Amino acid sequence: MLTLVVAGLAAGGAYAIFGVSIVVLHRMAGVVNFSQAVVGAFGAYFAAALYDRGWNFLSAAAVGVALSVAISVAVGLLFARLFSEADGAVRTGAMIAVTVGLFAAGFRFFSDTPRSVPVILPGASFTVGGVVVTAGTIIVLLVALATVLSMGWVLSSTRVGTQVRAISELPVVAELLGVPLFARTALVWGFTGLVSAVGMIVVASNLPGSFSSLGFLIFPAMAAALIGAFRSLSLAMVGGILVGVVEAVSSYRPTWAEYRGAVPFLIALVVLLWTQRHEVWDAAR
């Protein structure tokens, strides 16, 4: 059982990274980013393709991360230009369309053949209670923690965080007051693209999969963001790790393993029911 829990930490750390990134963009740009995982998958797969062509791992990973950042910035500027004053339904619909388009482009460039990403720091590991913990697991958890701490500080204590929140709520007024709309938008979206690519490269090195399977990691990431109510970065991180561990433990019995893919949806459903309980009880009274 402990082995499964440790195995779930790597995936859970990735869910936490994507979930925290989703919460950050929702708070700072007013957008629920369904493309978070597929943008990271672009970076991971491109890095793997360069590595297969003879590039060293660090150079390939740097270029892959840069590609994810560029895609994320392009999407963010597109939304800032076309949907800055649109309501939530229009933004959501546009983001779904962008996500489907990125999936189609990913299939076109990379197909859906599983591709392996080199293991980060191969052989670097330590043992806890007889269970081997790899360096990749530690790295992904540290990236998730660093994202929470850095973005929490930016949101609460910096001028940039205040400006970006103003852009998401009152873009016209913020621009009239001299806030650099597109520069701040590019900064926020670029950061989430960078974090997603790093997280996906670590995950792909531990859990090789196809382009679609990596892109579909958005579902457990959404569950993590829901646990954080799209507001709390720390709860989103905890939620992502929880989803990863529960998924891993669910394979403890063969009969449970059949329903492993439903775990994120079940957790999201429970969270939604719990967060809406007061409204239901008030209506009943």
pLDDT above 90 (res 238): no
Q: What is the pLDDT of residue 175?
A: 65
Q: Are 29 and 91 within 8 A, CB to CB?
A: no
Say which amino acid occupies 128: V
In 3D space, the residue among 85, 270, 107, 117 whose CA is nearest the CA of residue 200 turns out to be: 117
Q: What is the CATH number of the domain that holds 259?
A: 1.10.3470
Q: How many domains does the chain have?
A: 1
Query: Of how many residues is the chain composed?
Result: 285
Question: What is the average pLDDT score of the chain?
Answer: 78
Residue 168's pLDDT is: 66
Percent above pLDDT 90 for the chain: 5
Q: Provide the 10 A C-beta neighbour count for residue 155.
A: 18
pTM as predicted: 0.79
23 close to 222: Cβ distance less than 8 angstroms? no
Question: Residue 67 — very low, low, confident or very high, per pLDDT cuts 50/70/90?
Answer: very high
Q: What is the pLDDT of residues 88-126, one digit of tens each?
A: 778 888 888 999 999 888 888 887 777 777 666 665 666
What is the mean predicted confidence (pLDDT) over 214-241?
84
CB-side neighbour CA atoms (13 Å) of 196: 39
Strands, DSSP E only, in the chain? 125-128, 131-134
In this prediction, residue 169 has a pLDDT band, given cuts at 50, 70 and 90, of low
Domain span holding position 121: 2-284
